Structure 1
C-alpha cells in the first residue's frame, strides 16, 4: 500500500484537478492510504501587518467550506470522498459561493451528512481550531505553502496537474502514482515546469 497526504482548499482549481485524480484513482481500486489535509489559502495570503485569518474567519471566502470538509472527513468518513468531490464541483462546476450555508448544506444533505451538526461544529469554534492545527502542522513539518501539496514521509511537493480525469480511473491512478513516486525516487528534482501548455 502506498501512503501519502495531500492538502486542499476548495477554491483552488489545481487542488480540484489533483483531488479528482485521487478520488478517481481510489474509485478505481488504487491501493493508496490517503490523508486529506485542510490548508487555508486565506491564511497564506495574510500580510504581515494583518491579523491571522483564524481571528477573522468571516473575512475568508473558503474557510467555512474547509471546516465543513474536515467535519465530514472526521465524523462521517464513509461519506467523505463523495462529499469532498461534490464540494469541489459546487465551487468550480456550479459556481457556488463557498460562504453560503445553503450551498454547503445541500452538498452535505445530498451526501447523507447532517448539515446542522456540521454547522454547529463550525459555530462552536472546534472546526476552526482543528483546521488551524492541521494547517500549521503542514507548515511546520513540511514547509507547505499551497495546494495541492503531496506529502510522502519527509518529502513534500506542490504539484499542478493540468487535466481532469473524468471517469478514467486508470489515467488517474497513473498520474498520482507518478507524482508520489517522484517524491521518493527523485529527491534532486526540485522543479519541472513546462514552458507552455499544450491544448
Structure 2
C-alpha cells in the first residue's frame, strides 16, 4: 500500500526547494508514495493585521504568480508538473530570476512543453488564485499550517528543514531515505514536537 502524504510549497523558500527536490527525485525513481503537492502563500502568511490580503491584491505579492502557475500545471498538465516544479525552484534559487515576471514563467513553461497561454488564461480568469486560496486556507484551518515545507499525513503536520539538496542526477536512495524518515517521524512519533540542531555545520 502506497504511503500517502502532502507537502506544501512556495517557490521563494530554499528549504521548500530542498524538500521538493527530494520528493521529486524519489518519485521519479519509483517511490511507492501518493503525494499531494499543496500551495501555501508565504506572502499571505505574513500579511499584517488590517492590511489587504494577497487574495485581494495579488499584484503586490512577488510569489503568488508562480504559485498559481504551479497549481495550474499540477492540475491541468500533471505529467509535466514534476519537471516544471523543479525548474521553477531552480529559476528562483539557482538562476536568481524573478518569478513575478511573466516572461520568466513563460520561458520555464515553454521549455517543458506546457502551453503558457493556457496557464495564464486560468490565472487571469481568477480560477488559479481561487484554487490557491482554497487550499492554503483549508490547511491553515485544519492543520494550523504556517510555513513551507510542511508535511501532512492524516491529522498530523510538521514543518521540516532538510539541509541538503537532490538536484538532477542525485542518488534517489538518499532522497527516499530522507523523506521516509520524515514521514515515519510524522506518523509514528507525533510526541516528538521539536528537534533542532543548535548549529549548522558549514
Provide TM-score, normalisation by structure 1. Answer: 0.99
* 2: CA distance, partners of 1:134 / 1:128: 10
Find out whether 1:196 has 2:194 as its counterpart: no
The RMSD of aligned alpha carbons is 0.6
Deviation at 1:17, TM superposition (A): 0.4
Provide, for residues 137-172 of structure 1, a one-character-per-residue CA deviation record: whole Å limited to 9, x for no partner. Answer: 010111000000000111000000011023111100
Equivalent pairs, count? 199
List structure 1 segments (4+ residues) > 6 angstroms apart after TM superposition. none
**2:188 match:** 185
* 1: CA distance, partners of 2:21 / 2:60: 28
* 1: CA distance, partners of 2:143 / 2:88: 26
Find out whether 1:91 has 2:92 as its counterpart: yes
* 1: CA distance, partners of 2:166 / 2:117: 33
The equivalences for 1:44-193 within 5 A come to 44-166=45-167, 167-193=170-196
Provide, for residues 82-126 of structure 1, a one-character-per-residue CA deviation record: whole Å limited to 9, x for no partner. Answer: 100000001000111011111000110111100001111111111
Provide TM-score, normalisation by structure 2. Answer: 0.97
Q: SS at 1:156's partner residue?
A: strand
Structure 2: tracts of 5 or more residues without a match: none
